[in-house]
Structure 1
Amino acid sequence: MPLRFLGPYLSILLLAGAGLPENGPVPEKKPATVETEQGGKVATPQEKPEVKPEVTPEVKPEKKPQVKEDEKAPASEVKPETPVDAKPATVQPAPEPEPVLTIKLEDSKEYAACLADLKAIGAVFKEESRIDDGKGCGIDKPLTLSTVLPGITLKPEGKMRCETALELARWTKDAVLPAAKVALESEGELTTINQASSYICRLRNNAATGKISEHARGNAIDIASFTFKNGKSIEIQPRDEDSTLAGAFQRAVTATGCLYFETVLDPGSDEAHENHLHFDVIERKGGYRYCR
């Protein structure tokens, strides 16, 4: 071999012995070209891999039962939904029913005995027909009292139960006459007891609401004043600090009233009784009496 070829040949052998990597760099694939009608070439766009969209499973809404048109509630009956933070409505207790009031029936034997005692003490009265004004107002066997004791008139005459009339007569005989003789002898004999109220259908103290008055049952009488033979009248008024004999007389007849009546209210009890004494024979448990 000529020497001029020996150098290149040795270089080739040296390069081959150095060991080339089995996998060399891969040249990028050039896009294919397409010849246009004008003779030029353009690159064919590479196809992108198809990306399928994620499929969300279809949620079907719950079907509500259909309501026929004629079964729909009217708009006035459709109740709005209660807000979550709404407080529950306060349930008011049902009002207690009003008691049914009736007229107390008189015991025949007790009534007959009362009439006998009233006649014996000297009272003048007239028996009346049954009174029934409704709502518990009325008297089973009423009478009209015109004379409390012989010579002592009840003015004006008043309707009441026999028991009320009898206690009034007993109180007048046993308490009022002795007190008047001691305190007011100069005024002469007692001739008239002036009453402000006997039977009347109303509530206590003429109130619009509350319990029925004992006047509405014939159990009560209000005393407004006492009139004597000389014409002078002792009127019921606040007399707790009255140091006169008239004041002593009023306090005496007021205090003794509770020996005959279950309830005694005087001008010191409340404003409704500033000008009269209230006496009644209401029945209380254990014989309890209310005296003020």
Structure 2
Amino acid sequence: MTAPAPLPEKTEPPAPDDVPAPQPKPDVKEPEAPAPEQPPAPPTEPAKPERSKPEPAESMQGPPLPPGGLKSPQPPAEDDKPPAEQTLEEQHLTIEPESDADHAECTAALQALGVVFKDTPRIDDGNGCGIDKPIIVSEPLPGIKLKPEATIRCPTALALARWIKESVIPAAAAALPEQGRITSVNQATAYMCRLRNNGETGKISEHARGNAIDIASFHFEKGEDVAVRSRREDPTLTGAFQRTVSAAGCLYFTTVLDPESDAAHETHFHLDVIERKGGYRYCH
């Protein structure tokens, strides 16, 4: 009966051996709980006010409009509408100015190609619709009429002339030699003050800035006109001609929309020279 008594006595001495082990534990508890009573820990005290400083700064921004986060101090768009839902009047757009030097260089290039055009006074139809230095083009190349004549910017006219000379005429000669040369290009829309696709809201059309022209058909010396229409499955040389000039348009214009793009362009090519970052082009 005396043997079990010493056993608990032997378990008691290891307890002091465990005393140094819990010493690191207070080290873990010190950063978790503030200890202002300990004088030798001044570095922990300044660290705490530093953490509390950003809290009032954020709270000063948050309370006025908490759901808006960092963007809350910014005023909302007019009538709380995003730009895509605003009318032309609500967007408060302005006409983009053109430099005299750039315009002179462009018109000189037109004259070198034989384009028949004339200058016309500045157009300002309000709401950002207009052209700073418009021209009226009657012949995009010598001997080829533009019907009806088109009021556009010079860069649009230059792209049109180069496209016809370098791509449309060679493609027509290869695909439709029996129809002779092209005598006129029929356009559906040049300058027009409106939004894209004639919408009531949304972005302004490039037609409203003189940057766009819609081509509806090509007239030849002989045979029927080649009207622009859906020709994706057209196995004829006429279909090949249209697909060729549509694809080539992206070499000269930054936007090319053809009848395969959508219902709004099923009867014409939409060609424009809008400037995009990085030289990006949209061709469909």
Whether TM-score is above 0.5 comes out as: yes
- Hey, what's the Cα distance between the residues in 2 that align with 1:254 and 1:95? 42
Q: 3-state DSSP class of the match of 1:255?
A: helix
| Pair 1:230-2:211 in alignment | no
Give, as a single letter, the amino acid of the residue that structure 2 aligns with 1:105: P
- Hey, what's the Cα distance between the residues in 2 that align with 1:217 and 1:156? 19
Q: 3-state DSSP class of the match of 1:221?
A: strand
Match of 2:77 in 1: 96
Match of 2:125 in 1: 133
Q: 3-state DSSP class of the match of 2:96?
A: coil
- Hey, what's the Cα distance between the residues in 1 that align with 2:277 and 2:122? 27
Give, as a single letter, the amino acid of the residue that structure 2 aligns with 1:126: K
- Hey, what's the Cα distance between the residues in 1 that align with 2:237 and 2:185? 18
Give, as a single letter, the amino acid of the residue that structure 1 aligns with 2:152: M
Give, as a single letter, the amino acid of the residue that structure 2 aligns with 1:114: C
Larger radius of gyration: 1
**Which stretch shifts more, 178-187 or 226-235?**
226-235
Structure 2: stretches of 5+ with no match in the other structure: 1-66, 79-89
Match of 1:178 in 2: 170
Alignment of 1:110-259 (within 5 A): 110-259=102-251
CA deviation string 1:32-59 (max 9, x = no partner): xxxxxxxxxxxxxxxxxxxxxxxxxxxx
Give, as a single letter, the amino acid of the residue that structure 1 aligns with 2:77: E
Q: 3-state DSSP class of the match of 2:251?
A: coil
Give, as a single letter, the amino acid of the residue that structure 2 aligns with 1:96: A
Following superposition, the deviation at residue 118 of structure 1 comes to: 0.2
- Hey, what's the Cα distance between the residues in 2 that align with 1:152 and 1:180? 14
Q: 3-state DSSP class of the match of 1:258?
A: helix
- TM superposition score normalised by structure 2: 0.69
Match of 1:46 in 2: none
Following superposition, the deviation at residue 232 of structure 1 comes to: 1.8
CA deviation string 1:106-135 (max 9, x = no partner): 111111000000011011001000000001
- Hey, what's the Cα distance between the residues in 2 that align with 1:104 and 1:231? 43
- Hey, what's the Cα distance between the residues in 2 that align with 1:113 and 1:217? 20
- TM superposition score normalised by structure 1: 0.67
- Hey, what's the Cα distance between the residues in 1 that align with 2:199 and 2:223? 35
Among residues 97, 108, 124, which one is paired with 1:105 in the alignment?
A: 97
Give, as a single letter, the amino acid of the residue that structure 1 aligns with 2:132: D
Q: With a CA cutoff of 8 Å and minimum separation of 6, indicate the structure with the bigger relative contact order.
A: 2
Following superposition, the deviation at residue 96 of structure 1 comes to: 1.3
Match of 1:42 in 2: none
- Hey, what's the Cα distance between the residues in 2 that align with 1:127 and 1:102? 21
- Hey, what's the Cα distance between the residues in 2 that align with 1:220 and 1:286? 20
Q: 3-state DSSP class of the match of 2:136?
A: strand
Give, as a single letter, the amino acid of the residue that structure 1 aligns with 2:209: R
- Hey, what's the Cα distance between the residues in 1 that align with 2:99 and 2:145? 28
Alignment of 1:9-24 (within 5 A): none
CA deviation string 1:150-170 (max 9, x = no partner): 110000001000000011000
Following superposition, the deviation at residue 287 of structure 1 comes to: 0.3
Alignment of 1:271-286 (within 5 A): 271-286=263-278
Give, as a single letter, the amino acid of the residue that structure 1 aligns with 2:226: I
Q: 3-state DSSP class of the match of 1:149?
A: coil
- Hey, what's the Cα distance between the residues in 1 that align with 2:76 and 2:139? 46
CA deviation string 1:205-239 (max 9, x = no partner): 01111111000000000000000001520000010
RMSD: 1.5
Q: When the two structures are aligned, how many residues end up with a matched partner?
A: 202
CA deviation string 1:242-275 (max 9, x = no partner): 0000000000000000000000000111100000
Following superposition, the deviation at residue 95 of structure 1 comes to: 5.2
* The structure with more helix, counted as a fraction of residues: 2
Structure 1: stretches of 5+ with no match in the other structure: 1-90
Alignment of 1:76-91 (within 5 A): none
